Amino acid sequence: MRDKGNPPTRLLSKAKLVRARALRRDRTEAERKLWRLLHSRRLHGAKFRFQHPIGNYFGDFCCIKSRLVVEVDGGQHADEDEVANDRRRTAYLRSQGFRVLRFWNHDVLQRSDWVVERIQEAIGTEDGVAEPSP
């Protein structure tokens, strides 16, 4: 926000802002496809944000109102170290009150109807934890 005559209030650190912009610019094909399906409140009027910062992490797709983060993972997330990182990330997001859904890129690209159905179910569900894949 900006008050007249005052410099703008920075909500994110400069480094985090630069990182968020890079993630938004360099999106994968699966992220592009899912964004086309979710943006502009196309899914039950839910507003999603792309690469939304939450603590030290960025949620690929985040619906603040539903407290839902949707992660789209490529093959690198099958690596043992990445699986451990994803578990820590999910634990942190849950500690912040978010539910986390994870989908493989392949599912988004080949089974987008199924992915959207899972997201719709999660938006309609206020409690519980849903992690269909990886």
3 state DSSP class of 101: strand
pLDDT per residue over 84-122, tens digit each? 999 999 999 999 999 999 999 999 999 999 999 999 999
| Number of domains within the chain | 1
- Res 119: pLDDT: 97
CATH number of the domain at 101, please.
3.40.960.10
pTM for the whole structure: 0.76
Give the containing element (helix H, strand E) for 103. Answer: strand 99-104
Residue 95 lies inside a defined structural domain of this protein: yes
Q: Are the CB atoms for 75 and 28 separated by under 8 Å?
A: no
Handedness of CA 115, 126, 130, 96 (dihedral sign): positive
Residue 55 lies inside a defined structural domain of this protein: yes
Residue 70 lies inside a defined structural domain of this protein: yes
Residue 3 lies inside a defined structural domain of this protein: no
pLDDT per residue over 48-89, tens digit each? 999 899 998 989 999 999 999 999 988 665 677 778 999 999
